[in-house]
Structure 1
């Protein structure tokens, strides 16, 4: 199992400054992590931060978790990915996702219609461009070059570091999971539970089979919150507000993909209650209502021995890259946690060579 670090967005990592994000990335580099994953929504963007952090680290790779499909044309995404792959010496991982209706339509002005079809076309165009083929695509969502003007089929000018740069999809629902297996090189999962993961892998495996592929070489990335304390309630409490935001407030009542995931995992009544409180702007009550069992199943909380046991569980369940999000009370504690997880992984013999 490879080890990765998820530093999220600039300003929301708990450090609230760029120096903190850099310090965590340097710690990951020092402890031989494979990838530092970054995120974007409607604040900091991934490419700018990747370029900055990569200039200050030596060996660690960088990943987009995720660059938003409605925010860039597929050709621009290919240009950006190729540039970052050159900058990092072939260590960039391109994660893509459609975001959600509120961001897609409210921020980017792109209708959240047929997300699966849009994703399929988008990935195909990105692959054409990264393969330095003359880009030509005529689909439902994208038409390149436009058929009624002076546009011509163009080829990416920059020679990419790799023409097979890996493309990941962030997906939650069954149809999107199947599409991920079919057209992507890896999956970025959130709120991943070792107990529920086999069901998700089976769906992705069906997609792989449809494409004439197996799960061999397919990267299963689990983005996992981690909080260490001898008191498990203290450890779990650090993740409550974050969990409530996603399950209760990341989307509308009718379309919240994280709420739907919690429901499929068997937490329907609890997810409904958290959502009711969150949408009523009772955010503290919503956080308190998140069941500890859900946090224990979808994160790593407790003392070092509890963390050690969950590391084994994730590896056994089929995770190939574990991307930790440290949730501690200070930057210093988060940096220490980066080192602790690396040590535990090595002691258990879980780290991929």
Structure 2
């Protein structure tokens, strides 16, 4: 099982300034982490940060978690991914996601309709571009070139370092999971619980079978799970550092009617708590919402506690089928976050897990 680091966004918290991101990047590279992921919503963008931060690393691969599909045309995404693959010497992974209705329609002005169909066509166009072919595509959402004008089918001028940059999809719902298994090279999972991962893997296998793998094999397919990382002798102390983030997603990422993360928590058996967290969060009682997140939910979906508990949970992730574990280190300051990265790497090595 490989280790990755989620660097998130730039400027969202007091410690996530650019210098802090550089230091975390260097620490992950030195500790043998495999990949660093960057996020975007409606603040900092992934390509600018990836191009800049990659210059401070030697072996670390770089990934988008995620490029927002409504933010760019598929051709623009192919251009950007090819450029980043060149800059990093073939060390870029293209993670894609549809975002959500509020961001898609409120920020990008793109209707959040037929996300599965749009994603399928989007990936089709990108693969055509990566495949050194003239891009001609006739779909429901994308028509290239436009049929009633002077446009012509063009070929990507700057080729990526590799023939195909690996494509990951961020997926939560069952249908989106199946699509991920069918058309992607890896899955970016959030709030992944080893105890509930088998059902999600079966959804990916259904997609693999649809893609022509009769046995639904996931060989060569990267199961990349995200997890918070909070090291402390006491589980409650460690969990408390991650409560605000869990409440934001389960309670506030979306509307009362449509919140993908809330629905995921419900499927995991936390229906009552998910309802309470959402009600409190949307009533702007953010501290109460954070306090209402069950410790069991955090323990199942993150790495918390002392070394021996980390070791137990790391084995659970590996045994469940996770192939890349991407962590977001928490701490009271940057030094603690860097120390957490090194501690986790040491535990992985002591347990023979990488």
Q: Is the 8 A contact 2:10 2:17 kept in 1?
A: yes
- Work out the CA distance in 2 between the residues paired with 1:16 and 1:6: 12
Residue 324 of structure 1: aligned partner: 327
Q: What does the per-residue CA deviation read over 1:94-124, in whole Å, with 9 as the maximum and x for residues that have no partner?
A: 0000000000000000000000000000000
Q: Calculate the aligned-residue CA RMSD, in Å.
A: 0.8
Residue 36 of structure 2: aligned partner: 36
Residue 348 of structure 2: aligned partner: 345
Following TM superposition, the consecutive aligned residue runs of length 4 or more in structure 1 with deviations greater than 4 angstroms are none
List runs of 5+ in structure 2 lacking aligned partners: none
Residue 226 of structure 1: aligned partner: 229
**Distance apart, 1:16 and its partner CA:** 3.0
Q: What does the per-residue CA deviation read over 1:139-197, in whole Å, with 9 as the maximum and x for residues that have no partner?
A: 11000000000000000001210112100000000000000000000000000000000
Residue 192 of structure 1: aligned partner: 192
List runs of 5+ in structure 1 lacking aligned partners: none
Which is further off, 323-332 or 8-17?
8-17
Residue 18 of structure 2: aligned partner: 18
Q: Residues 147-166 of structure 1: matches in 2 within 5 Å? A: 147-166=147-166
- Work out the CA distance in 2 between the residues paired with 1:133 and 1:280: 52
Q: Is the 8 A contact 2:9 2:16 kept in 1?
A: no
Per the normalisation by structure 2, the TM-score is 0.98
Q: Residues 80-229 of structure 1: matches in 2 within 5 Å? A: 80-213=80-213, 214-229=217-232
**Distance apart, 1:212 and its partner CA:** 1.1
Residue 50 of structure 1: aligned partner: 50
Per the normalisation by structure 1, the TM-score is 0.98
* Pair 1:273-2:241 in alignment: no
**Distance apart, 1:231 and its partner CA:** 1.2
- Work out the CA distance in 2 between the residues paired with 1:12 and 1:223: 19
* Pair 1:253-2:256 in alignment: yes
Residue 6 of structure 2: aligned partner: 6
- Work out the CA distance in 2 between the residues paired with 1:28 and 1:141: 39
- Work out the CA distance in 2 between the residues paired with 1:231 and 1:321: 26
**Distance apart, 1:13 and its partner CA:** 5.7
Select the residue among 296, 300, 304 that pairs with 2:299. 296
Residue 267 of structure 2: aligned partner: 264
Which is further off, 146-155 or 12-21?
12-21
